[in-house]
């Protein structure tokens, strides 16, 4: 990541390489908004020290928002949130058990004191959009960009409505 | 809410007056962090125009984050998110059906394009803390305050550990 | 839709074009009963103003029943119901999470005051039949037609019973 | 029930006397709208012939809508729907098993051909409101009354909002 | 079915022809035990009168046990049980919603007074075996046959154990 | 239990003394039907040899049906079924986890070969009624008694219906 | 904890002081078996460094088994397991959401590589017994003690059986 | 299994041959750690006496840990645990009903007194690793081996992280 403080920066952390197809949609949207992204594989259980170290230094490293994707007993977003004061967005990755109910509950049901901003199961796009909305408090252009994004979404709905008529 | 742009501002919206006991914990923590709060009862289904109008103007009214608490088929956070580019935090209020599984899924499973940052069922404290973490991108003092908050939490755990020994 | 007040009219609204395969069965049955249908893509979150506007004018536009199909955090039927006094039938569209448990609960668990008449997950045929049953209060021929439909269903069961013997 | 065809009529059927506290809210709202109501205890399993007989004659007896409340393996609404072409509204009564998940699924998951218009678990008020919306197709005054009802709901939200300020 | 009272007789009823693949396993095992079987398609909702009529006459027609397979809001076993004093075995057929949770709860959660002997979701073999165990009270040979069946099962486990060694 | 082969006999087994309040309703109904009952506490995990021994000898001891009540990981009914060719009825006892979902699935989802006739969670009455229906194949009077029982149930519904009118 | 290597040692860690009533049953049973116990409050999210430090040194500190109790998004057992090669037993503490389904799934669904030996929700006694069974591999007397414990359980069942006769 | 007391020994029991693909991963990891393994097909319901006999003699036969894999109403691990004082690890095998929720609850929710150390649904690797961790109390080399295993896991995460950069 660059040292340029005027560019919004998001670190995307995933529990294993198998989460990459989910996370790719997040990266694409963030890049579309001109957000610098850093992608990292890091496990709450296999590399816990690396995870802790990363999260402790995230703010001073200029990161604005952390997005963490994990499945099953998905501790990664919560463990990162334990070590930082930055907002952490959690993507529950669909597991083979009840379509990710385990991932969802392991991420959203965080005890009082250490929240994770949870999006839908496999909600990769929404993690990116939420990160942009959060960063729009600091980076003025992003609010404007997000308004345009919403307009495009609206127009796409209108177009697909016209198509079926 | 004041017009002072240097004070963080959060609007807390709830679906009905019965959600007040949940939301009070959110307000208390926000006030402890020096955040200005505005509380509002507003229904996605009974006063949809008021809800839309509030959300459309939230950013220009100086609000930084919207927190919405709702139960059952909890559409309020998502409906507000439809009309704003601000981050919207959703608190699934525990309903009498499966302890709020309906509230949780109605809030967290938002379709691509319009995210709601979901916290735990009745996770009122975490909604406040997440809002502070989000606003810490813009208001410099808040990161420091949040660090202190985390230290106090840590000390409380240590104390309660000493107590049981 | 025609201006002819003697023809039953149903508007079918879906959250996205991907719901079309579900909704097609609804349209087919309605047409079989001689019901005029209007199909529309419209999102509670991406085109909320269009959704509100449509629902507000539905009754004066001669529509008798609204059928809305949506998945995941399926707010569309409830949001339409907020803006009309017409009966709204909701079809929970099967999502990739627990076979549409999120869609079902988001639609059926509406809070007191704004009901949605919910049918089974992907219950496209039943949405049409329910609409016809509702409209049979106003359009006299429909009760008769529905009786015939039930008779055909009965005969089909009897035939398939004979086939396996 | 009177023979007067100009008065809307709803039959409310419940599986057992223990469902009365749920159903009372339905009756009250219907009466507020000037709807004639008939209340009946009738079991799909203990008095199946009476249930069948009632449903077969419901339309010719001048009934407009049937509301059926039942719990556990809640077959009553579906069994009534099997014998009539009138719209049947089902209220899943909260059972002691998973807050009525059994009641909800037994009612809403009706197979193709015989729909039940399902409202929320214990959604007694919404069953009444939905019945009025359905009957508003036939009885002109009801649409107007429902508009007023919605206005009152809106005003109540606004008032409770003012109260907390 | 023959009039011979010395031959055990089971009627197998299914909600639709699509349940046949499930039910075939039931028939096969019953035949292996020398049980006379009668197979029938009959719907609780589309042919309710036929279902009632069948169940009312089942005992006098010499049937010993009724096995009913149904899916979704699976009312068939319970509706048959309402009209007979014979034991009714219910097979919850796997539906496309949560692997038949709807079918299971609709069958097993019968209210007090009218039981259905429920086996596992798609538990076609066990329905047959349970029927044989029930009929072994009346037909002396069946207990002996069932003992042999259990011995064969045991030997098959022992053989497959030897195979993997 | 007496040696009289002309009297129907049911053994009721429960996993622990805390299941007694559930099982008492079963005993009462069986006695009303003139069934001899034997009650026993016996654990699949704490006294597995006693359980096995009891089940192995049940048939030669003149027992017609075994009813087993158990909660949580409720193995008792299945373990008894493993050692007998008699029909075994399982009552899932409501546990403190999800209202007995664990008990229900542990009993009903038996693998192919060893069925348990499962009734509703805490379905104590239905276990008794099902046992009587099963024994009605062997003891002629019971069919008649069950018909009367059904008539009384019907009359009770009719009476309670008259009461609310 | 003493330095005596001949005494079995278990560390019991809980996420918050509110878990004490659950954990007390664990301590009592361990003491009955002569196991030295150490109790500690320690949070995966509020004192993550203390948790990591404790787990890293557990083996060299002479601990044989770690028992960790936690609720909601219960990361504590898994986080401890990440830092030790000792067996970690997890007790899912009943939360207010679906009776601890969140706690259970967050503990049992650990990804490959870092297991947690999970017992029942609030299964405090079983955590102790499992720890003793594990330690019986190393401490010879414990196998004998466990045999006696099983005998006492058996006798208690037999006694309670005699009591109800 | 050899008579050599210095070699760790694990018996792996599965309910049916169809569980072999799951269990193979367990065997592989155990062998990598130099653990002697014995594999056996044995059913709690079809060969209950063999299961009991095996478990009763497991300790005297030199076995250190029993791993049992079973699906649906998965009684096998609990039934084995009833007859031994050795630690029993249970692998809930994914069934076709709700991805093994039945298997999981039937294994983990064991009543007080007879624990089963439960791992994730299909958690074959973790069953092996947990067994090694348990045996590391007795066999000194295993702790060291497990440390190395953890290091390799860590390095693999680091490598896959480098790969995506």
What pLDDT digit, counting tens, does each position of F57-66 carry? Answer: 999 999 999 9
Tell whether F67 is within 8 A of chain E (Cβ). no
Q: What single-letter DSSP state applies at residue A71?
A: E
Q: Which residues of chain G have pLDDT under 50?
A: none
Per-residue pLDDT tens digits for B104-118: 999 999 999 999 999
- How many angstroms separate the CA atoms of F67 and F40, rounded? 10
Question: How distant is the Cα of F105 from the closest Cα of chain E, in angstroms?
Answer: 9
- The pLDDT of H42-50, averaged and rounded, is 96
Beta pairing, strands F65-71 & F88-93: parallel
Give the closest residue to H160 by CA, choosing from A68, A12, A17: A17
Q: How far is CA G25 from the centre of its chain?
A: 10
| Residues of G in Cβ contact (< 8 Å) with B124 | none
Give the closest residue to G101 by CA, choosing from B110, B126, H98, B69: H98
The yes-or-no reply on H/G contact (3 CB pairs or more, < 8 Å) is yes
Q: What percent of chain F has pLDDT over 70?
A: 100
Tell whether E79 is within 8 A of chain D (Cβ). yes
Q: What single-letter DSSP state applies at residue H75?
A: -
CB pairs under 8 A between B and D: 40
Q: What is the 3-state secondary structure (H, E, C) of A39-69?
A: EEECCCCCCHHHHHHHHHHHCCCCCCEEEEE
Question: Quick check: F104 pLDDT over 90?
Answer: yes
The encoded tokens of residue C28 equal: 């087919």
The encoded tokens of residue F117 equal: 């006739």
Tell whether H158 is within 8 A of chain A (Cβ). yes
Among the partner residues C46, C82, C105, nearest to B48 by beta-carbon distance: C82
Q: What single-letter DSSP state applies at residue B111?
A: P
Give the closest residue to H46 by CA, choosing from E142, F68, E130, E150: E150
Per-residue pLDDT tens digits for G98-126: 999 999 999 999 999 999 999 999 999 99
- How many angstroms separate the CA atoms of F36 and G1, rounded? 58
Per-residue pLDDT tens digits for B119-159: 999 999 999 999 999 999 999 899 999 999 999 999 999 99
| Residues of D in Cβ contact (< 8 Å) with B73 | 120
- How many angstroms separate the CA atoms of H118 and D137, rounded? 58
Among the partner residues E115, E135, E138, nearest to F126 by beta-carbon distance: E115
Q: What single-letter DSSP state applies at residue G16?
A: S
Of all residues in chain C, the one with the smallest CA distance to E96 is C99
Position E3 confidence tier, pLDDT thresholds 50, 70, 90: confident
Q: Are A157 and C47 an interchain contact pair (Cβ–Cβ within 8 Å)?
A: yes
Of all residues in chain G, the one with the smallest CA distance to F47 is G154
Q: Are E46 and C160 an interchain contact pair (Cβ–Cβ within 8 Å)?
A: no
- Give me the pLDDT at residue H165, please: 86
How high does pLDDT run on average in chain F?
97
Cβ proximity of E105 and E72 under 8 Å = no
Q: Are A160 and C16 an interchain contact pair (Cβ–Cβ within 8 Å)?
A: yes
Residue F28 neighbours by CB distance under 10 Å: 13
Size of chain B in residues: 165
Q: Best of H12, H13, H15, H17 to disrupt the E interface by mutation (most E CBs within 10 Å)?
A: H17
Please identify which residue in the block is written with the tokens 């116990």.
Answer: G37
Q: How far is CA D159 from the centre of its chain?
A: 29
- How many angstroms separate the CA atoms of F42 and F52, rounded? 10
The encoded tokens of residue D62 equal: 């001048």
SS3 B112: coil
CB pairs under 8 A between D and F: 41
Nearby residues of A152 by Cβ (< 8 Å), 6 or more positions away: none
Question: How distant is the Cα of G81 from the closest Cα of chain H, in angstroms?
Answer: 10
Position B4 confidence tier, pLDDT thresholds 50, 70, 90: confident
Cα dihedral H71→H76→H78→H84 (10° resolution): -150
Give the closest residue to G68 by CA, choosing from G142, G132, G131, G135: G131
Question: How distant is the Cα of D41 from the closest Cα of chain E, in angstroms?
Answer: 15
For chain B, the chains sharing at least 3 beta-carbon pairs closer than 8 angstroms are: A, C, D, G
- Give me the pLDDT at residue H8, please: 98
- Give me the pLDDT at residue H101, please: 98
- How many angstroms separate the CA atoms of B77 and B91, rounded? 8
Cα dihedral G41→G42→G43→G48 (10° resolution): 170
Among the partner residues D20, D46, D97, nearest to F164 by beta-carbon distance: D20
Residue B137: phi and psi, rounded to 5, are: -70, -30
The yes-or-no reply on G/F contact (3 CB pairs or more, < 8 Å) is yes
Among the partner residues A39, A41, A98, nearest to H157 by beta-carbon distance: A41
- How many angstroms separate the CA atoms of H91 and G158, rounded? 31
Bridge partners (DSSP) listed for residue C113:
none
Q: Are C108 and B73 an interchain contact pair (Cβ–Cβ within 8 Å)?
A: yes
Residue G98 vs residues B23, D103, G101: alpha-carbon distances, Å: 21, 18, 6
Question: How distant is the Cα of C147 from the closest Cα of chain E, in angstroms?
Answer: 12
Q: How far is CA A83 from the centre of its chain?
A: 17
Q: What angle do CA H110, H114, H116 make, to 5 degrees?
A: 60
Q: Which H residues, 11 through 50, put their C-beta within 8 Å of a C-beta on chain G?
A: none
Cβ proximity of C9 and C31 under 8 Å = no
Nearby residues of D4 by Cβ (< 8 Å), 6 or more positions away: none
- Give me the pLDDT at residue C111, please: 96
The yes-or-no reply on A/H contact (3 CB pairs or more, < 8 Å) is yes
Question: How distant is the Cα of B136 from the closest Cα of chain A, in angstroms?
Answer: 8
pLDDT by position in tens, chain C (length 165): 888 889 999 999 999 999 999 999 999 999 999 999 999 999 999 999 999 999 999 999 999 999 999 999 999 999 999 999 999 999 999 999 999 999 999 999 999 999 999 999 999 999 999 999 999 999 989 999 999 999 999 999 999 999 998
Cβ proximity of F60 and F33 under 8 Å = no
pTM for the complete prediction?
Answer: 0.98
- Give me the pLDDT at residue A2, please: 86
SS3 A33: coil
Position A4 confidence tier, pLDDT thresholds 50, 70, 90: confident
Q: What angle do CA D60, D61, D62 make, to 5 degrees?
A: 90
Q: Best of C154, C155, C162 to disrupt the E interface by mutation (most E CBs within 10 Å)?
A: C154
How high does pLDDT run on average in chain E?
97
Element (DSSP H or E) covering residue F120: none
Tell whether D3 is within 8 A of chain E (Cβ). no
Question: Quick check: H12 pLDDT over 90?
Answer: yes
Element (DSSP H or E) covering residue C157: helix C140-164
Q: What percent of chain B has pLDDT over 70?
A: 100
Per-residue pLDDT tens digits for B92-103: 999 999 999 999
Nearby residues of F43 by Cβ (< 8 Å), 6 or more positions away: F15, F16, F51, F76, G157, H111
- Give me the pLDDT at residue H72, please: 98
Question: Quick check: E2 pLDDT over 90?
Answer: no
Burial F108-117 (b: 16+ CB within 10 A, else e): bbbbbbbbbb
Q: What angle do CA C81, B67, D156 make, to 5 degrees?
A: 45
Q: Best of E125, E151, E157 to disrupt the H interface by mutation (most H CBs within 10 Å)?
A: E157
- How many angstroms separate the CA atoms of E34 and C21, rounded? 47
- Give me the pLDDT at residue G14, please: 97
Per-residue pLDDT tens digits for B49-82: 999 999 999 999 999 999 999 999 999 999 999 9
Please identify which residue in the block is written with the tokens 């996370």.
Answer: A23
The yes-or-no reply on A/F contact (3 CB pairs or more, < 8 Å) is no
Size of chain A in residues: 165
Question: Quick check: H75 pLDDT over 90?
Answer: yes
The encoded tokens of residue G40 equal: 């500690």
């Amino acid at each position: 990541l660059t040292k340029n403080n005027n560019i919004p920066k998001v670190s995307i952390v995933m529990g294993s390489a198998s989460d990459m197809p989910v996370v790719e949609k997040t990266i694409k949207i963030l890049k579309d908004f001109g957000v610098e992204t850093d992608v990292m594989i890091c496990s709450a259980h296999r590399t816990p020290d690396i995870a802790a170290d990363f999260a402790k230094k995230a703010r001073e490293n200029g990161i604005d928002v952390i997005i963490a994707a994990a499945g099953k007993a998905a501790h990664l977003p919560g463990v990162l949130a334990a070590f930082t004061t930055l907002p952490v967005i959690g993507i529950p990755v669909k597991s083979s058990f009840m379509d990710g109910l385990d991932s969802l509950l392991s991420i959203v049901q965080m005890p009082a004191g250490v929240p994770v901003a949870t999006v839908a199961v496999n909600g990769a796009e929404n993690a990116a959009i939420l990160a942009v909305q959060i960063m729009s408090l600091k980076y003025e252009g992003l609010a404007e960009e997000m308004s345009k994004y919403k307009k495009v979404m609206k127009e796409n709905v209108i177009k697909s409505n016209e198509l079926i008529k």
